[in-house]
Amino acid sequence: MSASLLILIPLLPLIGFLINGIGFKTIPKGAVGIIGTLAVVASFVISVMTFNDFVASGSQPLVVPLFEWITVGDLRIPFSFQIDQLSLLMLMIITGVGSLIHIYSIGYMHHDEGFGKFFAYLNLFLFFMLLLVLGSNYVIMFIGWEGVGLCSYLLIGFWNKNTNYNNTARKAFIMNRVGDLGFLLGIFTIIATFGSVEYTEVFAQASSFSLEDPVIVTICLFLFIGAMGKSAQIPLYTWLPDAMAGPTPVSALIHAATMVTAGIYMVIRSNVLYSLAPSALEIVGIIGGLTAIFAASIGLLQNDIKKVLAYSTVSQLGYMFMGLGAMAYSASMFHVITHAFFKALLFLGAGSVIHAMSDEQDIRNMGGLRKKLPITFITFLIATIAIAGIPPFAGFFSKDEILAHVFEHNKLLWVIGVIGSLMTSFYMFRLLFLTFFGNFRGTHEQEHHLHESPASMTIPLVILAVLSAVGGFIGVPEALHGSHHLAEFMSPLYDAARQANPAGFEPTTLSHSEEYLLMGVSVAVALISAVVAYVMYVQKASVPAPDSAEKSGLQRLVYNKYYVDELYDNVFVKSTKTLSNILYSFGEFFIDLFVNAAVRLTSFSAKMLRKTQTGSTGDYVFAMVLGIVAILFWKLLL
Amino acid sequence: MIPNPNIPEVSIPSVIQNIPLQHYLILSTLLFVIGIIGVLTRRNAIIIFMSVELMLNAANLLLIAFSSYRSDPSGQVFVFFIMAVAAAEVAVGLAIIVMIYRNTRNTDIGFLNKLKW
Amino acid sequence: MYPIVLLSFFGIVTLFLGFSKSKNILLPATLLFLIIALAGNFLEWNKGPLLYFYDMLRVDNVTLAFNGIILLSAFMIFAISGGFQDNPDSEPAEYFGLMLFSLVGALMMVGFQHLIMLFIGVEILSVAMYVLTGSNKRNLRSNEAALKYFLMGAFATGFMLFGITLLYGATGSFKLEQIQGFASNMQVGSESYILYAGLLLLLIGMLFKVSAAPFHFWTPDVYEGAPTIFTTFMSTVVKTAGFAALFRLLSGSFTGVYGFWWIVIAAIAVLTLLVGNIGATSQNSFKRMLAYSGISHAGYLLIALTALSKPSQNAIIFYSLAYSLSTICAFGVLMLVSKEKTIGGQPNEYYDAFNGLAKQNPLLAFVLTVSMLSLAGIPLTAGFWGKFFIFTSAAERGIIWITVIAVLMSTVGIYYYFRVIISSYLKEGDLVKIRVAPFYKVILVLATFLTILFGLAPGIFEGLI
């Protein structure tokens, strides 16, 4: 494969960024959209060509050196790209979903005055994201890592320059910096241990380490802190829901389909290291499981359409980490792929709804939209079924594979996972029913304005819907008489890890009947939740109470009709509600407490420090002498 | 000139070497510490400055002692440099103090606390 | 060696030029002098280690690289001084003369091979800086800064001298390689104690010059009180020279007793990082914040000294360059902005002076943003690589804990560096036009360009050494 072609993949979005970024005031709107979109589509086409070449040439991973970059002492960091199964899959997702979202944005952002700037940022984001997955060493990955973070903030702050922006941005920034801190420390520990940051060299050397070597465990934990920040895991997750302040296509592209999966990419990329550190993986799995159920339970009660999806994203990322914890790398990647399809679709669908509702985001003010927005409705329905894990749509296969592996690994986590998917199915169907069924609850103006979105928005929806529906067939498990294409394709990635830790890669011991049973359980809980949601929100047409008002008498009457419902309401809904509220405020409270405490501590010590700067020369000299005496005493007399 | 036979011929280094090196070390250190204490306790810029000079001279004394004990002239050469530099510092330092005196009619460092926090 | 001789001569010439009626010739002349000195500097490139002045000065590529950074910084600072035309009370010839002489001192500190050279270099640099700090004679703040700097500087010199004396007493020489030879084969005894005491005192004297905590107290006051142009000079040239000297001293003489001193430097580095970064958060004056930021950067550089591993040398050179470029940009923009917006006749050096800068002059806002990003160590700027190299050097030595602290502190750094970016982009300010002289603009753009270039391809620089 020619290097010149490969370099075009990240270069094209960069060129798009430069053209739109420099000339966004002079280039006409139509041209801006076309330039920005073309750059991404072209890089998608090249990615596909690269993929075909790769498969045709026998799936040999290769490192394409571009130029010598840096030499520090004995450490040599070349600027080179690595082409293998993992980076190719990520490339296809990023450029593929990216292209669709660009097309969508042409319609969605049409009325916005910052149209050119928006496309410039999107292209820049893609450039960094592609750099992140293409780089052949941790330093390039880090550059991309920071770059996508930067673009994410630029785009979060795209609309809300003045309102509360400082606070949100600060929180997001601190959380991500904590993550980046971990990543950086991981890199430096890698340098200290292996004397290199190139994947191939690091992994080759790592294979000679013994299982549970403390250095490897440390590296893995450091790297995982980085992943926690970027992929919004407990306790660094609260920035992601806040990030929903950005335009909806951004939420779809950055905060659902691509950037937030960077953490998973990193762990899979470092699978050799992680396979050598089962105790680190254990932590990864537990954090993932906790995040999955925690975020899902918060999602149960959110009334902002995008907030629900945001918590859902956090929760789904938790599933992926849970899978990684069970060393089911391929299964997690599988879920990354299917999640990219259906979550992008959900966000874009939500965008279409918001567009139609004149920027209304509260689902309590929606309802009955399925007649007015038929395409959006059908695609949204498909995505909902997919995320709920109902066969044969994409989410079923990937989630089921993760859960099967987790079941083998740790039964308790599996239970958590199943409860999580129960909640997932419930809040997603709740969202669907409240938005598209029942009667319209908004204002007359909004009702008058309701319209299906233009073709540039619906075509991406349809394409993504098709992918969400059939995307799962790349990894049909053996038990269902499929052949697992994806797992086979990715299998060479783990050769080194397999040698280092053979026990972790033993084939499944689950019999087919056990697998059927597991599948049956997860499908059953998903269906039950869907039915419950249907009963609650369509049959009884109950609407979540407004933040202040009490339930009306009529509603109470409806409730009282069914004894079962009352029981359900008292025992199940209320307790869940309370739990969910507690968890929500607990999480927010603690994280805010942490962030605020860090800020307070800094400002407090800053105040103390300020007091030492008295302005009097005598005091300064005195402090100096104290310092000198301390040093001399310490080094000469002690 | 004819050397006086009554006075035994002694070179200056050997006179210096009559006193043990430790004594020079202790004396210079004491001088140095006295200088530090002067800087710490005085508030008049000129006296602080004089204390600093005392510190420099403590170093000079010790250098000479080391130099003659080792019969190595480079220590003494250094002393010349130190004296030259100290002279330059005196010039600049007094100029600064005079400048401040003109503006504030005062050389007390306690009054200089506009720049702080 | 050439720049030392040339600049000494040019300094005298500059003083004579001051007699001429036309003051316009001064700036071009001194800039020309600096270019000649720069050219002279690189004449000896790759000529291998050369010794001059009775083996008291060593010229090798490391020396030349540091010299290059110092002369380049000086060139930029001279250029943005605008020849001190706007202040009728100023004495441009003397200022330029003093700065040229102080450069001689800086170059001696970079290349010294003999402790006399080090002492003379430090003093030439410092004495010139005392005068320049107090050059605004009628301004009480400038006076106060000068006196504080002078008294504390002289005090620190005393320690440095006493340290040198003790080193001489222990080893019998002022020469770096002989001290190295002695320190490497030393037996534990009274002499080793004298050597250790001497080393510590000398280090304390030097650490004072680079404003490491707890010897940093003078820095914020002096940086704030001195005229901004000389503050720029202090925070770039003096700091680079100080670190070059510390590096030469420690790597040239004391690698044999690394086990003794590294923990001292490490502790001071950590303290400096804490003081610099935390102190900067509570400042409302941008200039004073930059002083604290200067302290914090000294902390990062001390990490490279702590490690003193293979990458340390290049790390210090690269970091000094990145830091100097960004600092010159930051102070350059500050000078322009504070001149336009005054409070009671005094330049406004507070953060709010930058409100709405992006609308008033987008170029300045961009320059300021890049320099802040670089100081904060955000990727794709030179500052990121500077930090990266420094942390790599620590990692190679196997000291990870210090990197943990440093990275944490750099997070704090983002808070105060981004404050001014937020001021200039998100806050509304009066609509005053800020005019920038073309040459000034060229310098700022050049420094910004280099910051980004080294950020994209730090390898270019690595290839040079």
Instruction: Answer whether residue B14 is part of any domain.
Output: no
CATH code where residue B33 lies: 1.10.287.3510
Q: How confident is the model at residue A544 (pLDDT cuts 50, 70, 90)?
A: low
Check if the beta carbon of residue C213 is closer than 8 Å to that of residue A612.
Answer: no
Q: Which residues of C touch B76 (CB under 8 A)?
A: none
Residues of chain B with pLDDT under 70: 1-10, 12-13
**Nearest partner of A261 among A160, A398, A357, judged by Cα:** A398
Q: If we measure between CA atoms, which residue out of C110, C113, C109 comes closest to residue C58?
A: C113
Q: Could you give the count of Cα atoms lying within 13 Å of C374 in the half-sphere of its Cβ? A: 33
Binary contact (C155, B52; C-beta < 8 A): yes
Distance, in Å, from the CA atom of C208 to the CA atom of C52, rounded to the nearest integer, reads 28
Q: What is the pLDDT of residue B1?
A: 52
What was the pLDDT predicted at A161?
57
Most confidently modeled range among A437-451, A544-558, A616-630: A616-630
Residues A196, A132: contact at Cβ < 8 Å? no
Angstroms from B8 CA to nearest CA on chain C: 30
- pLDDT of amino acid A575: 66
pLDDT given for residue A586 in this prediction: 65
Which chains touch C (3+ CB pairs under 8 A)? A, B
Q: Which residue of B has its CA nearest to A615?
A: B116
| C138 near B CB under 8 A | yes
Residue C169 touches chain B, beta carbons under 8 Å = yes
What torsion do the CA atoms of A582, A588, A589, A594 make, to the nearest 10 degrees? 150
High-pLDDT (> 70) share of chain A, %: 88
Residue B15 lies in a domain: no
Contact A615 B39 (CB under 8 A): no
Residue C419's closest CA among C284, C299, C292, C294?
Answer: C284
- Examine the pLDDT at A274 and tell me if it is beyond 60: yes
Residues 6+ apart with CB under 8 A from C186: C192, C195, C256, C257
- In 3D space, the residue among A496, A472, A467, A468 whose CA is nearest the CA of residue A485 turns out to be A472
- Residue A565 pLDDT level (bands cut at 50, 70, 90): very low
End-to-end CA distance of chain A: give it in Å, rounded: 65
**Residue C44 near residue C1 (C-beta atoms within 8 A):** yes
Helix (H, G, I), strand (E, B) or coil at C308: coil
pLDDT higher than 60, residue A556: no
- What is the tens place of the pLDDT at every residue in A452-469? 888 888 888 888 888 888
Q: Identity (one letter) of the amino acid at C350?
A: Y
**pLDDT tens, position by position, A134-174:** 888 898 999 888 888 888 877 877 765 555 555 666 666 66
| Chains within contact range of chain A (3+ C-beta pairs < 8 Å) | B, C
Partners of residue C426 in chain A, C-beta under 8 Å:
161-162, 165
In a domain, B10, yes or no: no
Q: How confident is the model at residue A548 (pLDDT cuts 50, 70, 90)?
A: very low
Q: Could you say which residues of chain C have pLDDT below 50?
A: none
The maximal CA–CA distance of chain C, rounded, in angstroms, is 71
- Cβ contact C407–A184 (<8 Å): yes
B:C CB pairs within 8 Å: 121
* ipTM score assigned to the predicted complex: 0.91
C44 touches chain B (CB under 8 A): no
Is residue B51, in this structure, part of any structural domain at all?
yes
Residue linked to tokens 């000896």: C44
Output the CA angle A526-A532-A538, nearest 5 degrees.
120
- pLDDT at A62 (0 to 100): 84
User: A377 with A436: CB under 8 angstroms?
Assistant: yes
Question: From the candidates C147, C152, C166, C179, which should be mutated to test the interface with B, based on the most B CB atoms within 10 A?
Answer: C147
Q: How far is CA A295 from CA A211, A316, A419, C153, in A?
A: 33, 9, 12, 59
Residue A171 is predicted with a pLDDT of 66
Which residues in chain C touch residue B25, judged by CB atoms under 8 angstroms apart?
169
Number of domains in chain B: 1
Whether the CB-CB separation of C69 and C240 falls below 8 Å is answered with yes
Average pLDDT, chain A: 81
Note the pLDDT of residue C351: 87
List the domain range (segments joined by +) for residue B35: 20-107
Question: In the block, which residue shows the tokens 């280092």?
Answer: A500
pTM of the predicted protein model: 0.86
Q: With CA atoms as reference, report the closest residue to A323 among A280, A282, A285, A286.
A: A285
Confidence (pLDDT) at C303: 95
Shortest CA gap B2–chain C (Å)? 36
Stretch 35-74 of chain B: residues touching chain C, C-beta under 8 Å: 35-36, 39, 45, 48-49, 52, 55-56, 58-59, 62-63, 66-67, 70, 72, 74
CB C153 within 8 A of CB C208: yes
